[in-house]
Structure formats: structure tokens, C-alpha cells
Amino acid sequence: LDILGISCFYHDAAACLLRDGVVIAAAEEERFTRKKHDASLPLNAARYCLEAAGIDAADLDYVVFYEKPLLKLERILAGSAATFPRSRRMFVQAMQTWLTEKLWIRSRLRNALDYGGPILFGEHHVSHAASAYFPSPFTHAAVLTADGVGEWASTTVGIGSGTDLELTHEIRYPHSLGLLYSAFTAYLGFEVNEGEYKVMGMAAYGRPRYVDQVRQLIDLAEDGSFHLDMRRLAYHRGSRGFEGAFEELFGPARQPEAELEPTYADIAASIQLVTEEAMLGLARRARDLSGSENLCLAGGVALNVLSNARILQDSGFRNVWVQPAAGDSGGCIGAATFLYHTVLNNQDRHRMDTAYLGPEFSNAQIHAFLECEGIAHSVLAESAIAPTVARLLSKNHVVGWFQGRMEFGPRALGARSILANPTDPAMKETLNAKIKHREAFRPFAPSTLVEAAATYFDFGVRSGEVESSFMLLVAQVKRDKQHLLPAVTHVDGTARVQTVRYEQNPLFYDLIREFGKLTGVPVLVNTSFNVRGEPIVCTPEQAFNSFAHTDMDYLILGDALVPASSKRRVAAYPGSSRIRAAEEMIV
């Protein structure tokens, strides 16, 4: 049974192919079109999924879309009517895209894929919930989803049991934790749907002095639900998430690219703290409703690693599993798995143990590219890749690492990564300034062996080995180890950790182990293989182009090692410094 899942038209469009309950391919459209967070119909991603499955669209049993378009349109029209005449810009902008594109999703999919079978429509938060529950290791779990908004819901709680999934309660738009956080993202001078990570990173530099003001925006009820004061927010009537009444509370908005003033860091710390409290309340409600000790999380807010860590530590759940593509891109997996298990009643569930679901390139394809472009390189024996790269990293060289299938989701997990030595105190500055070309305050994440994680990191739970396979949990770097890991220890002593098991990625595991043998520290800096404004690289050519435009020292493409002396620009600079602080938020 082959099901093609599709999510698109808001941000992070993606497609996946579910075969007999197993996700055999998934990819975001941005990786193919090279437009970051591309929301367009993911035809490239869909074609890749079909190719990976070795089938044509005509062979599919179902195509399923991750939400109900007409319910979403109803919400937009209701919002525009409720805020007339201030909604003029939003209405016109929304109708342009709806009338020309979004209303015709069924026929567009049919025509583009040349597919004549059934096209189904899930619900946005059911898709999120299913993407968290069905690939999880649990047979019974509470489910919590929180994002900007789907059709009407912005937050849901429910229960997954066997092949059944039911969401029992919801909070509706315009009351939304995700949109509240995005309003602060815009206020702090960052791009909505992109800069939320930056707010999280910035929060560590501040003190939560503005918590009382943030609480004037959100009423947190004892049962975990919440309600926003929409008089001070503006996303429901236009593209800016905030306006004058908001600035009366917090002062003038920060301009994009402005210096990081302490006040803004304090505001970031305050919204972060309130978000954590809100998520904790929601998680406790989910636990009370379900009586389960397992929690599955998805939705864009589940990418907030600090709140995930608070949930793990303080909500009373013993186990927490977060969908690696927790944002809208993962919705395609949820729509497909919900159809497969709950609607079609298939019992065989399959755990999503890795996120390596994207395209891969053979060594022969890589060699052909390098030779065609005349790029000097050396070819390593398979057994020499890990020791050679580990030696380069131990000498403080920065290495572009391109191996196997590309990751699905926003995190680089050792397939399309830039790697470096975390023990070098200068490495963070080198990576931010010379390679990633991004803000100096942003931290870098470590990857470590699962069995070494407890030596270096404290996840704040009393018992058991914590896995963070998808880099979706934050841990404290142990006090006596912080001096060993200056490049990945954030200013507040935390790190967003990836733990690696051998079975998940043998080559990456061996690399970390070899690095550990050389330095005594089996931990690497692992940051996504892209420059600022660029989607993570997908192909060898894109990897080489990013490499050529930065100060990386080596590039390892499969078994081909490319030194910096081979750099030459095969295409234009792939990144962007353009900031779109007033990004559309809800249309």
C-alpha cells in the first residue's frame, strides 16, 4: 500500500512516501528549489519520493494532504470580517493566493502528478499529532500539538492508543502560542518562521525581567489552557505580529541587524520563560487526560528545545518523543500515517528511528561531478573516512560532511553537516563569522555518542539513559566539562545535543568515536551544511558551492576528500542577508 503525503502552502512544504506503514522517503521542497522555507506545491519532493519508491504516481493507492483547505479559508474570511477594515491588506494578499492556487489543490495535484486516484484531506493538528504518535516507540501515549495555527486549532491534546488516535481538546485561533512567539520574533527584528531559533538563542543572554508584561498578553489557566489579549497583538488583522499597544509594554521594536541590546535579550528571555510555562501546563493537562507516562509532541512550538527540556524534567512524563520534522513539513507524515493506521485500520506500526529519508548520491555520482568540474580531490578507502576526517577535525579544521541520505526536518544530523572541534575556544566565532555568516550570539550544537552523553551532558532527569537522536532536547553541559566544550556550551551553560547510536548512522558514529580517541572528547560541533539564508544542501554540487563560498577547510563528499585549495565558485553565493521581519503570518 503506497500513500503519498503532502504538506504545503504555509511554510516548509514537503512530501513523503509511506509504503505499508514505513516512511521510505521524505523531503522538504526547499532542498530542491533552494528557496528557504519554500511553501509551494512540493512537486520536486513528491517526484523524489516516487523515484525513491521506484513507482509512478499512477501506482499510488492514495494521495493525502495534511489539512482541510476550506476550513482554513473559513478562518481567514472570519478573521478578515471580524477586523474589517483593518484587515484590507491581509484579505487582498490572502485572496490572491487562495483564488489562484490554494483552492485548486486537488486539480493541481492531479495534473502535476498525472494521478487519477483518490486525494484525501486530513486535519492540520491531527496530522501533527499522527506524525508524533505513530512513528514513536509508544503503544499508548498522550499527544500534544502546538503551532501557529492550522485550520482553526492552534493547540490540541489527545490520546494515542494502538492504531487509534483521538484529539479531545483544543485551543482555537487567534489564541496561539506559536503566533505569540512569532510576534516577539518580529518585534525583536527577526524573520517570522525563521528567526524563532534566534529568539531562543538570544534568551540565554537576558534575564526574564519582562515576564509580568508578557503575562499581560497571555492568561494561563490552571488547567494548562490559555487566552491571549488580542488588543495588543496584530497578527489576526495584518502581517505584523505586534503594533503600538504592544510597544507600549515593551518599548520600540528592535530593528533588524541592530546591536544586541540587553533590553531585547531580557524580552527574549521573558517570552521564552512564559512559553516554557505554557507548554509545561499543556503537557500536564495532556498527562492528566491520558494517564500515560509517555508524551508525543509535534507542531512548530515543539521545535522549542528549551520548552521540550522543561517538559521532560518537570511535567511528570517518563518518556517524551518529538517528531524530528515537528513543523509543517512533518504534517505529510502525519496525514499519511493517520490514513494508514486509523482510517484503513492497519496494525503494523513502524518506529521512526532516524531522519535520513532524503536523496543520496553514490560515490560514482560524486566522482563524476568532481571530475566533470575538474575539482582536485583524493579518494579515501571506506575504512579511512572516519579516521582521516577525525584527524583533520582534531587539528581544528572545519569540515563539510556530506554522507548518505539527506535528513528530513530542520536539523542536520550527520548527513549534511558542517563539523568542527568543540574543544577549540575560537571555533564558535570562526564558524559564525567566516563560515555560517550569521549572528555572533547564536550557539552551536554538539553531537556525541549515546553512551558518552551522560559524561558530558545533564538532561535533568533522574533515571535512565536519555536519547536525543534528533537534536530536540537541551541539556546542561556538566560544569566540570564546560572547559572542554567551549564551542558548544551556550552562555547559560546549555547545549542542544544530538546523541548518536551506531545503528542510526554507523559512519558518523565511527567519526565521533575516532575523534574521541584522538582528543579524549567524543563530541563534535555539528551545524547544518548551509550558509545564512540558504536551505541545507541536498546535492554534491550545492555542497561544493557552499564550501567554495566559505572558509571551510575540507569537504568530504562520500569517499572524496576535497581540500580548500580546490575551491572555485561553480555558482553564485547561495545565501542571503535579506531580513523579512514583516513576513505574512497567517494567510
Partner 1 sequence: VALLHVVYFGVFGPSALIARLFGATLLDLAPRQRRSYWLERQPTGRSVIELMRQF
| Chain contacts with partner 1 (rule: CB under 8 A) | 64, 68-71, 74, 77-85, 88, 91-92, 95-96, 105-106, 118-123, 126, 153, 156, 158, 165-175, 219, 221-227, 229-231, 236, 285, 339, 342-344
Collapse the DSSP code of 464 into the 3-class scheme (helix H, G, I; strand E, B; otherwise coil) and give the result: coil
Q: Which is nearer to partner 1, 171 or 413 (CB)?
A: 171
Query: Please, which residue, 82 or 491, has the CB nearer to partner 1?
Result: 82
C-alpha cell read off for 526? 555539528
- Give me the least distance between CB of 339 and partner 1, in Å please: 7
Nearer to partner 1, 71 or 112 (CB): 71
Q: Considering the complex, what minimum distance in angstroms separates the CB of residue 162 from partner 1?
A: 13
Closer CB to partner 1, residue 212 or residue 465?
Answer: 212
Supply the angle between the helices 69-82 and 88-100 in degrees, to the nearest 10. 160
Give min distance, CB of 258 to partner 1, in A: 32
CA separation for the pair 318, 141 (Å, rounded): 11
The nearer residue to partner 1, 48 or 226, going by C-beta atoms, is: 226
Nearer to partner 1, 70 or 379 (CB): 70
Secondary-structure breakdown of the chain: helix, strand, coil percentages, each rounded to the nearest 5: 40, 20, 40
Nearer to partner 1, 198 or 232 (CB): 232
Residue closer to partner 1 by CB (options 166, 353) is 166
**Residue nearer to partner 1 on the CB measure, 36 or 125:** 125
Instruction: Report residue 465 CA to chain centroid gap.
Output: 24
| Least distance (Å) between residue 291 CB and partner 1 | 17
* C-alpha closest to that of 278 among 310, 247, 305, 303: 310
CB-CB contact of 511 with 524 (8 Å): yes
Please state the closest distance from residue 89 (CB atom) to partner 1, in A.
10
Cell 512540493 belongs to residue: 42
Nearby residues of 89 by Cβ (< 8 Å), 6 or more positions away:
238, 239
Residue 253: φ, ψ to 5° = -65, 150
User: Considering the complex, what minimum distance in angstroms separates the CB of residue 537 from partner 1?
Assistant: 36
Find, among 25, 24, 26, 2, the residue nearest to 12 by Cα: 26
How near is the Cβ of 215 to partner 1 at its closest, in Å? 12
DSSP 431: I
3-state secondary structure 54-66: CCCHHHCCEEEEC
Query: What's the rounded Cα separation, in Å, for the pair 150 and 328?
Result: 9
- The CB-of-330 to partner 1 minimum distance in angstroms stands at 18
Shortest spacing between CB 286 and partner 1, in angstroms: 11
Closest residue by Cα to residue 266 from 149, 188, 324: 188
| 278 or 312: CB nearest partner 1 | 278
Cα angle 159, 160, 166 (rounded to 5 degrees) comes to 60
- Residue with Cβ nearer partner 1 (173 or 361): 173
498 CB-side CA count, 13 A: 30
In 239-324, beta strands by DSSP E: 294-298, 319-322
71-77: list long-range contacts, CB under 8 Å, 24+ apart: 71/123, 71/151, 71/152, 72/124, 72/150, 72/151, 73/98, 73/102, 73/103, 74/151, 74/152, 75/149, 75/151, 75/152, 75/173, 76/586, 76/587
Nearer to partner 1 (CB atom), residue 231 or residue 351: 231
CA angle at residue 74 from 71 to 77, to 5 degrees? 155
- Cα gap 316→463, rounded to integer Å: 13
* Smallest separation, CB 196 to partner 1 (Å): 23
Least Å distance between CB 511 and partner 1?
Answer: 44
Nearest distance from residue 65's CB to partner 1, in Å?
8
Cβ neighbors of 159 (< 8 A, separation 6 or more) are 140, 141, 142, 143, 165, 166, 168, 289, 290, 292
The residue among 285 and 490 lying less far from partner 1, judged by its C-beta, is: 285
Between residues 51 and 164, which has the closer beta carbon with respect to partner 1?
A: 164
In our burial notation (b when 16+ CB lie closer than 10 A, e otherwise), range 20-35 reads ebebebbbbbbbbbee
By DSSP bridging, strand 319-322 and strand 294-298 are parallel
User: In sequence order, what are the beta bridge partners of 7?
Assistant: 14
Q: How far is the CB of 341 from partner 1 (least distance, A)?
A: 10
Closest contact distance (angstroms) between CB of 459 and partner 1 is 30
Burial label, 565 (beta-carbon count in 10 A; 0-12, 13-18, 19+): exposed
